[in-house]
Protein backbone atom coordinates (compact mmCIF):
# COMPACT_ATOMS: atom_id res chain seq x y z
CA UNK A 1 0.00 0.00 0.00
CA UNK A 2 2.77 2.41 0.93
CA UNK A 3 4.69 1.55 -2.26
CA UNK A 4 1.65 2.30 -4.44
CA UNK A 5 1.22 5.68 -2.70
CA UNK A 6 4.91 6.61 -3.35
CA UNK A 7 4.51 5.69 -7.02
CA UNK A 8 1.48 7.99 -7.43
CA UNK A 9 3.32 10.91 -5.79
CA UNK A 10 6.33 10.38 -8.05
CA UNK A 11 4.14 10.39 -11.16
CA UNK A 12 2.65 13.76 -10.17
CA UNK A 13 6.03 15.51 -9.89
CA UNK A 14 6.61 18.23 -12.57
CA UNK A 15 9.91 16.75 -13.66
CA UNK A 16 8.29 13.40 -14.29
CA UNK A 17 5.64 15.02 -16.47
CA UNK A 18 8.31 16.89 -18.46
CA UNK A 19 10.38 13.76 -18.99
CA UNK A 20 7.29 11.91 -20.15
CA UNK A 21 6.45 14.63 -22.66
CA UNK A 22 9.97 14.63 -24.00
CA UNK A 23 9.89 10.87 -24.41
CA UNK A 24 6.61 11.14 -26.32
CA UNK A 25 8.08 13.53 -28.94
CA UNK A 26 8.68 11.94 -32.31
CA UNK A 27 11.56 14.38 -33.33
CA UNK A 28 11.76 17.35 -35.72
CA UNK A 29 9.88 17.33 -38.97
CA UNK A 30 11.56 18.04 -42.31
CA UNK A 31 10.11 21.53 -42.46
CA UNK A 32 11.46 22.33 -38.99
CA UNK A 33 14.91 21.13 -39.99
CA UNK A 34 14.86 23.27 -43.14
CA UNK A 35 13.73 26.33 -41.21
CA UNK A 36 16.46 25.81 -38.62
CA UNK A 37 19.08 25.48 -41.35
CA UNK A 38 17.79 28.63 -43.05
CA UNK A 39 18.00 30.60 -39.81
CA UNK A 40 21.53 29.32 -39.22
CA UNK A 41 22.62 30.32 -42.73
CA UNK A 42 21.12 33.80 -42.38
CA UNK A 43 22.84 34.35 -39.05
CA UNK A 44 26.17 33.10 -40.45
CA UNK A 45 25.90 35.34 -43.51
CA UNK A 46 25.12 38.35 -41.32
CA UNK A 47 28.11 37.66 -39.09
CA UNK A 48 30.43 37.22 -42.10
CA UNK A 49 29.24 40.48 -43.65
CA UNK A 50 29.69 42.30 -40.36
CA UNK A 51 33.23 40.99 -39.90
CA UNK A 52 34.17 41.89 -43.48
CA UNK A 53 32.68 45.39 -43.11
CA UNK A 54 34.59 45.96 -39.87
CA UNK A 55 37.82 44.75 -41.47
CA UNK A 56 37.34 47.04 -44.50
CA UNK A 57 36.65 50.04 -42.28
CA UNK A 58 39.74 49.28 -40.19
CA UNK A 59 41.92 48.95 -43.30
CA UNK A 60 40.54 52.19 -44.72
CA UNK A 61 41.16 54.10 -41.50
CA UNK A 62 44.69 52.73 -41.29
CA UNK A 63 45.39 53.62 -44.93
CA UNK A 64 44.17 57.18 -44.42
CA UNK A 65 46.34 57.53 -41.33
CA UNK A 66 49.42 56.26 -43.18
CA UNK A 67 48.65 58.54 -46.14
CA UNK A 68 48.98 61.54 -43.81
CA UNK A 69 52.33 60.21 -42.60
CA UNK A 70 53.51 59.84 -46.21
CA UNK A 71 52.30 63.34 -47.07
CA UNK A 72 54.12 64.88 -44.12
CA UNK A 73 57.33 63.02 -44.93
CA UNK A 74 57.27 64.07 -48.59
CA UNK A 75 56.46 67.63 -47.59
CA UNK A 76 59.63 67.79 -45.48
CA UNK A 77 61.85 66.20 -48.15
CA UNK A 78 60.45 68.31 -51.00
CA UNK A 79 60.76 71.41 -48.84
CA UNK A 80 64.44 70.69 -48.19
CA UNK A 81 65.04 70.25 -51.92
CA UNK A 82 63.27 73.41 -53.08
CA UNK A 83 64.52 75.56 -50.24
CA UNK A 84 68.07 75.57 -51.59
CA UNK A 85 67.27 75.69 -55.30
CA UNK A 86 69.49 78.17 -57.14
CA UNK A 87 68.24 78.28 -60.73
CA UNK A 88 64.49 78.42 -61.38
CA UNK A 89 62.75 78.45 -64.77
CA UNK A 90 59.04 79.23 -65.01
CA UNK A 91 56.47 79.81 -67.74
CA UNK A 92 54.21 82.87 -68.05
CA UNK A 93 51.84 81.58 -65.36
CA UNK A 94 54.59 81.09 -62.78
CA UNK A 95 54.60 77.30 -63.12
CA UNK A 96 58.06 75.89 -62.54
CA UNK A 97 59.19 74.01 -65.64
CA UNK A 98 62.78 73.33 -64.60
CA UNK A 99 65.02 74.03 -61.67
CA UNK A 100 68.53 73.27 -60.55
CA UNK A 101 68.59 71.74 -57.11
CA UNK A 102 71.18 71.62 -54.39
CA UNK A 103 74.78 70.85 -55.28
CA UNK A 104 74.44 67.28 -54.00
CA UNK A 105 71.98 66.52 -56.78
CA UNK A 106 73.33 68.92 -59.42
CA UNK A 107 76.63 67.12 -59.95
CA UNK A 108 74.81 63.91 -60.87
CA UNK A 109 71.60 65.02 -62.56
CA UNK A 110 72.51 68.37 -64.08
CA UNK A 111 70.19 71.21 -64.93
CA UNK A 112 66.62 70.92 -66.15
CA UNK A 113 65.48 68.60 -63.36
CA UNK A 114 62.14 68.57 -61.59
CA UNK A 115 59.89 66.53 -59.29
CA UNK A 116 58.39 63.63 -61.24
CA UNK A 117 56.53 60.36 -60.65
CA UNK A 118 58.36 57.07 -61.16
CA UNK A 119 57.68 53.38 -60.54
CA UNK A 120 59.54 51.15 -58.09
CA UNK A 121 62.38 50.71 -60.61
CA UNK A 122 62.74 54.46 -61.16
CA UNK A 123 61.13 54.55 -64.60
CA UNK A 124 59.31 57.78 -65.47
CA UNK A 125 55.52 57.28 -65.44
CA UNK A 126 54.46 60.41 -67.28
CA UNK A 127 53.00 63.78 -66.37
CA UNK A 128 50.16 63.64 -63.86
CA UNK A 129 50.68 59.98 -62.98
CA UNK A 130 50.65 58.61 -59.44
CA UNK A 131 53.75 56.76 -58.34
CA UNK A 132 56.80 57.46 -56.21
CA UNK A 133 58.23 60.98 -56.15
CA UNK A 134 61.69 61.41 -57.61
CA UNK A 135 64.02 64.28 -58.41
CA UNK A 136 65.55 64.23 -61.87
CA UNK A 137 64.88 64.30 -65.57
CA UNK A 138 62.15 62.64 -67.60
CA UNK A 139 64.60 61.34 -70.19
CA UNK A 140 67.51 58.96 -69.70
CA UNK A 141 67.83 55.88 -67.54
CA UNK A 142 66.70 55.54 -63.95
CA UNK A 143 70.24 55.04 -62.67
CA UNK A 144 71.73 58.15 -64.30
CA UNK A 145 68.82 60.60 -64.51
CA UNK A 146 66.61 60.21 -61.45
CA UNK A 147 66.75 59.76 -57.67
CA UNK A 148 63.74 58.77 -55.58
CA UNK A 149 63.16 61.05 -52.60
CA UNK A 150 62.00 58.17 -50.37
CA UNK A 151 62.55 54.42 -50.30
CA UNK A 152 59.93 51.92 -51.41
CA UNK A 153 59.14 51.12 -47.76
CA UNK A 154 57.69 54.62 -47.27
CA UNK A 155 54.82 53.86 -49.65
CA UNK A 156 52.91 51.47 -47.40
CA UNK A 157 49.60 49.78 -48.26
CA UNK A 158 50.01 50.47 -51.99
CA UNK A 159 49.94 54.24 -51.46
CA UNK A 160 51.21 56.45 -54.28
CA UNK A 161 51.93 60.15 -54.70
CA UNK A 162 52.30 62.86 -57.30
CA UNK A 163 53.32 66.50 -57.44
CA UNK A 164 50.48 68.04 -59.43
CA UNK A 165 52.06 71.46 -59.75
CA UNK A 166 54.93 73.63 -58.56
CA UNK A 167 54.69 77.40 -58.97
CA UNK A 168 57.07 80.14 -57.92
CA UNK A 169 56.23 83.61 -56.65
CA UNK A 170 59.10 85.78 -57.86
CA UNK A 171 58.10 88.79 -55.74
CA UNK A 172 57.87 86.91 -52.46
CA UNK A 173 60.46 84.20 -53.22
CA UNK A 174 58.48 81.10 -52.36
CA UNK A 175 57.26 77.94 -54.06
CA UNK A 176 53.71 76.63 -53.89
CA UNK A 177 53.59 72.85 -54.20
CA UNK A 178 50.43 70.83 -54.75
CA UNK A 179 51.07 67.33 -53.43
CA UNK A 180 48.58 64.48 -53.69
CA UNK A 181 48.48 61.03 -52.08
CA UNK A 182 46.44 58.31 -53.78
CA UNK A 183 45.37 54.71 -53.53
CA UNK A 184 44.47 52.97 -56.80
CA UNK A 185 42.02 55.37 -58.52
CA UNK A 186 41.17 57.33 -55.36
CA UNK A 187 42.83 60.55 -54.22
CA UNK A 188 43.12 60.48 -50.44
CA UNK A 189 44.91 63.81 -49.88
CA UNK A 190 45.25 66.83 -52.15
CA UNK A 191 46.78 69.87 -50.46
CA UNK A 192 49.19 72.72 -51.12
CA UNK A 193 52.11 74.00 -49.07
CA UNK A 194 54.64 76.81 -49.44
CA UNK A 195 58.43 76.61 -49.40
CA UNK A 196 60.55 79.75 -49.11
CA UNK A 197 63.64 79.83 -51.30
CA UNK A 198 66.67 80.60 -49.13
CA UNK A 199 69.11 81.81 -51.85
CA UNK A 200 66.53 84.29 -53.12
CA UNK A 201 65.53 85.57 -49.67
CA UNK A 202 69.06 86.31 -48.44
CA UNK A 203 70.12 89.78 -49.65
CA UNK A 204 73.34 90.01 -51.65
CA UNK A 205 76.23 91.60 -49.76
Per residue in 112-159, pLDDT (tens digit) is 568 889 999 989 998 889 999 998 887 777 666 788 889 999 999 899
Residue 14 has what pLDDT? Answer: 53
Q: Contact at 8 Å (CB) between 195 and 78?
A: yes
Count other C-beta atoms under 10 Å from residue 37's C-beta: 10
Output phi, psi for 118, to 5 deg.
-130, 165
pLDDT band at 204; cut points 50, 70, 90: very low
- pLDDT at position 187 over 90: yes
Residue 65 has what pLDDT? Answer: 92
- pLDDT at position 12 over 60: no
C-alpha to C-alpha distances, 31 to 93, 116, 127, nearest whole angstrom: 77, 67, 65
- pLDDT at position 102 over 80: no
Q: What is the distance, to the nearest Å, from the Cα of residue 198 to the centroid of all Cα atoms in its chain? A: 33
Q: Contact at 8 Å (CB) between 138 and 124?
A: yes
| Separation CA 188–CA 192 (nearest Å) | 14
| Separation CA 58–CA 48 (nearest Å) | 15
| Separation CA 45–CA 166 (nearest Å) | 50
Q: Contact at 8 Å (CB) between 200 and 85?
A: no
- pLDDT at position 202 over 90: no
Question: pTM of the entire structure?
Answer: 0.69
Amino acid sequence: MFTIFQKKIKEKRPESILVKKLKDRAGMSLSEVLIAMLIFLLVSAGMASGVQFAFNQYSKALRISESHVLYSTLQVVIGDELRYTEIIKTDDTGKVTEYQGSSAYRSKYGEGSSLISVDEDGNYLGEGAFGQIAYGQTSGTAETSRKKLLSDAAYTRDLTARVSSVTYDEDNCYFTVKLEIGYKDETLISEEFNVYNVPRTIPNK
